[in-house]
Structure 1
C-alpha cells in the first residue's frame, strides 16, 4: 500500500485485519487501498426503464450483475452528479456494495416496508423501485406509477437534518408511497407495532468499509465497541416491528466482527423466532465468519449464511449483511392496521387546488388521498397507516402550498411528472442553453397562455416556471440552482 499519512487507515485497524485474515488475503486486502473507489449508478425504474436510460446515457456504464439489473459502474471520467438527468432523478449515485442490501431484502409490490435509518436515501429509493414492480409497456411518470401501485415505505432517520435530506432525495426520486419520519427506534415500535413485511436496519457503524475511499473516518477500538452496543440496542426493537413471517435485513459498512457476527449472534440468542436466511450467492458475495465470534454451534452455523463484501473481491467497499426471517404467519395484529388520520383541505384550499389542477395537470389525483398539513397539501400513500406520536417530515408526495389567493405547486410534484402530465410544458434536451439558464435561476422567454409551465429535460419533470406575457418566471428552488 502506498503511504499517505493524511488518508492511510489507522495502524491499529490494519493490525486487527492482519490478525483476522490469512497473509495472502491480507496482502490482497491491503492492495485494494491503492485502487480508486468505483462510482456506482442505479437507474430510477420508477421513471425510466434500464434499456431506455442506456439509450440516452451520456456516460459509459458497465453492469454490476444479475443481482441488480438497474445497477452499473460508471467507467469513464464523466461527472454524472452534475448532469441534468441526475437533477431530474433518473438515477442515484450509490456505492456499489450498498446496492446489495435492498436486493437481498427483495421488497415486493403491496408490502409494508420500514427503512429504520434511511438517510441519505440510497437504500430507500432502491426499496421504492423494488416495491413498484416491473415497468409497464407504456412509459408512465413516477406519479402515475405511484397511483397504480400499492404498498408503503416508512423511511426514518433520527436526526432532523438527515431526515430532511432524505425527504429531498425521495422527492427527486418521484416517491409517492413513502412517509418520512424522524424518530428513535423505540418510538417507531411503540407507534406501529409488528406490522412490517420487510425491515431494513442499515446500522450506524464504525465505517471501516469506507476507509479505502480516503475520506476522514474517526476510528478506534473504543468506537467499534460503542457502535456494537448501539447496534444491539437498535436491533433489539426488530421483534416489535417485523411481523410474523416477515424479513429483516441488518447491514453495516464495517469489517469488525464485534459489529457484525457478534451483534447477530446476540440478537438470535434473545430472539429464537428469528433465523438467518441463506441468500442467493452471486459472484463475490462471501460468507459470514462464524469463526470470528464466540457463538454456540447452533447460532454459529447461521452466521455463515450472512454476506460479506470485500474490496479486493467485489467492485465496491466493505459491507456486512444478514437477512433474517421471522417464524410464523401474519395475524390480526399485523393485518388490522388503522388507516392514516387524514385531514381534508378546507373549502378555500380545495378551491385553489382544483383551480390549479384543472388548469395545469392532465393527470387526475384521487381527492380522498389529499391531506392538508398547515398550508401544505400532500398526496398520501394509498396504504398510509395511523402514525401516533411521531414527527412526520414528509406525508407522501408534497403537492404544493397555499399562498395568498393561489396554490403554488411544489418542485416535488414536478419531479414526479412527465411532460405529458402537464397542460403546458417546456421540454428541453440536456445540452440546450435554455436548460442551463433555467437551472441557474434565469428567466426564460416562451410564447403561450399565462399560467404554470412544467420545465422538463428529455421529457422528465425538473421544476416549475410561471408564464406571464411570454416570460417564464423561474421557480426552480434556490438551493438546487447551478452557480
Structure 2
C-alpha cells in the first residue's frame, strides 16, 4: 500500500469493520477509478459513449445516469469536448447523492454546499432547463469555480449565491422541492483519491466538522417544502458525521423521516450500531439503517455516505409558516446592516425581453439597478440580429450595472444576499452595443445562432481557437441562418464558434478573419 494512513484512523476502522477490515485496507493498494458524467443538457449519454473519442472507451457507472468510468491515460480534460461542456470529470461515488435526490424537471432545487459544482451540473441536467437551481457556497473564492462549471455545462436556469446557510432561511423558508447537503467533512473516504486530505484530518478534530454539519442540516431543513426531499451526504466513514447527524435531526424534527435506500450496486446499509448518542429515542437510531454507505472495497469508487430524508406533508402544514413574499416588508433579512437593499427599477416586457422605461413592472418584465446604462435595449438589438432562433426567455431579465442576466421564473427577492450570478449571464452593454458573454455561448444550441463557424475537434484550428488565437476564415466554415423574412444576415459581426457542432465561444468576422472573442479566463493554457 503506497498511502500512509494515520494510525489512529486505521485502528478505529479495524474496530468498526471487524471481518471486513482486511478487504477495506487492501483497497488502498488498488488503483483508483476515474469517472466522468456526460452532460445530457448537450448530448445523449449513451450515444456519446458509443462515439467517444477516448481511446479505451467508457464503461457505465451502475448508479449514475450518464456516468462512466474512463482510463487514467485518456486524460479527457485535455480534449476539446471538455471545453465544449460535453462532460464533467467526477469521481464515480460522488455521482450517487444527486441521483438519490430524484430531481424532476420543474422542481425548485437547492445545492447548499455546491462548490466546485459537479453535483450542481448533475442536478441541472436532470432539471432539463425547467424549474430553478439555486447553487450556494459560503466560500467566495470557491464560487468562481462553481459559476464557471455551471456556465461551461450550459445551464440556463441557475442562480449562484455566496452565503451562510442561516442567511438563506428567511428568503427561502419552505421553498424548495429538493435540497442537497453535500456537507463539509473530514474526508476519510477520499484519502486514496487525494492524500492531501490526510493533513486536514490530522489538523481538525471530529467536533470541528460535526458542529458545522449540525447547523447546516438544521438550516437546510427549514428551507425544504412539505413533501420535499433532502439528501445529506459526506465523503467520510465517521459515524459522528454520518448516522449520528441523521439520528439527531430526526429527534429534533418529527416532521422528517428517512426514505430507505434499497440495497444495490454493492452499497451497504447505514449502521445504527455505530450511533453512540445519548438521549436519542431508539426508533430514530434504528431509522439510519435506511441510509447508505459506499465502501471502496465493495464498489468501484471511493468512500461516501448518503441519507435520503422526506419532510412529511401533514406535520409540515401544521408547523411551517411560509414567508409569502421573501424579501418583502415582513422579511427581517431585508436591508441587513452591511448589505443594503439593491435599488431597482422594474419594467414590463413581453416574453421576458424587457419593455419601455416608465411602464409598471410585471412578472415577466425585468429589474434593473439604478444606472444610466440600459443593457436590455442593447440585448434586444443583438438578439434580433444574431439569435433569432432563441425565442423568448423564461422568467425575467435582471440588469446589474451594465450586465444583463436571464433569471429563471420563481426566484424570490434576493436583496441583502451576496449574489454571484443572478441567472444566465447574457452579456453586458458597452458604449451602446451588446457584448455577449461566454456563458451565453455555452448555453446556446448551434442552430439558435444566425452566424456560426464550425471546426472539428481533430482539426488544428479547434485547438488554436480554444487557446485564443485569431484565425483566417475559410468561407466554407461559415453557416448563415436566414431570418424570418428569408434573408441571410451579413457575413460580418459576431459569430458563434462551434466544435463538432457544440458552441465553445464567440468570434468576430472581419476582413476574412475570425477575431477570437473567447473570454480570456476560459482559454486553454
**Fold conserved (TM > 0.5)?**
yes
Task: Provide TM-score, normalisation by structure 1.
Answer: 0.91
1:482 aligns with 2:519: no
- 1:477 deviates by 1.9
Task: Name 1:137's counterpart in structure 2.
Answer: none
Alpha carbons 2:34, 2:72 under 8 Å: kept: no
Alpha carbons 1:378, 1:397 under 8 Å: kept: yes
Greater relative CO (CA pairs within 8 A, separation 6+): 1
| d(CA) in 1 for partners of 2:208, 2:374 | 53
Alpha carbons 1:44, 1:90 under 8 Å: kept: yes
Alpha carbons 2:365, 2:396 under 8 Å: kept: no
77, 84, 91: which one pairs with 1:88? 84
- 1:347 deviates by 7.9
| d(CA) in 1 for partners of 2:119, 2:364 | 25
235, 240, 256: which one pairs with 1:258? 240
Larger radius of gyration: 2
CA deviations over 1:314-366 (Å, ceiling 9, x no partner): 11111111111111157595595567994159784333212211221132233
Alpha carbons 1:379, 1:396 under 8 Å: kept: yes
Alpha carbons 2:293, 2:303 under 8 Å: kept: yes
Structure 2: stretches of 5+ with no match in the other structure: 327-362, 479-490
Task: Provide TM-score, normalisation by structure 2.
Answer: 0.84
1:235 aligns with 2:261: no
Please say which of residues 29-38 and 276-285 is displaced more in the overlay. 276-285
1:458 aligns with 2:503: no
1:119 aligns with 2:115: yes
48, 53, 60: which one pairs with 1:58? 53
CA deviations over 1:87-134 (Å, ceiling 9, x no partner): 1111111111111101111111111111100000111111111122xx
Q: Secondary structure, in 3 states, of the residue corresponding to 2:93? A: helix
Matches within 5 A, 1:249-398: 249-294=231-276, 295-328=280-313, 342-344=366-368, 348-361=374-387, 362-366=389-393, 369-398=396-425
- 1:383 deviates by 2.8
Q: Secondary structure, in 3 states, of the residue corresponding to 1:175? A: coil
CA deviations over 1:397-447 (Å, ceiling 9, x no partner): 100011123111001011011221111111111111111111111101114
| d(CA) in 2 for partners of 1:100, 1:459 | 30
| d(CA) in 1 for partners of 2:45, 2:460 | 27
Alpha carbons 1:191, 1:388 under 8 Å: kept: no
Matches within 5 A, 1:2-41: 2=1, 4=2, 7-22=3-18, 24-41=19-36
Q: 1:40 to 1:367 in 2, by over 3 A?
A: closer
Task: Name 1:208's counterpart in structure 2.
Answer: 188
Q: Secondary structure, in 3 states, of the residue corresponding to 1:473? A: strand
Q: Secondary structure, in 3 states, of the residue corresponding to 1:284? A: coil
Please say which of residues 245-254 and 345-354 is displaced more in the overlay. 345-354
Alpha carbons 1:62, 1:75 under 8 Å: kept: no
Alpha carbons 2:171, 2:412 under 8 Å: kept: no
| d(CA) in 2 for partners of 1:401, 1:221 | 45
Q: 1:376 to 1:282 in 2, by over 3 A?
A: same
Structure 1: stretches of 5+ with no match in the other structure: 133-145
Q: Secondary structure, in 3 states, of the residue corresponding to 2:178? A: strand
| d(CA) in 1 for partners of 2:172, 2:415 | 8
Task: Name 1:399's counterpart in structure 2.
Answer: 426
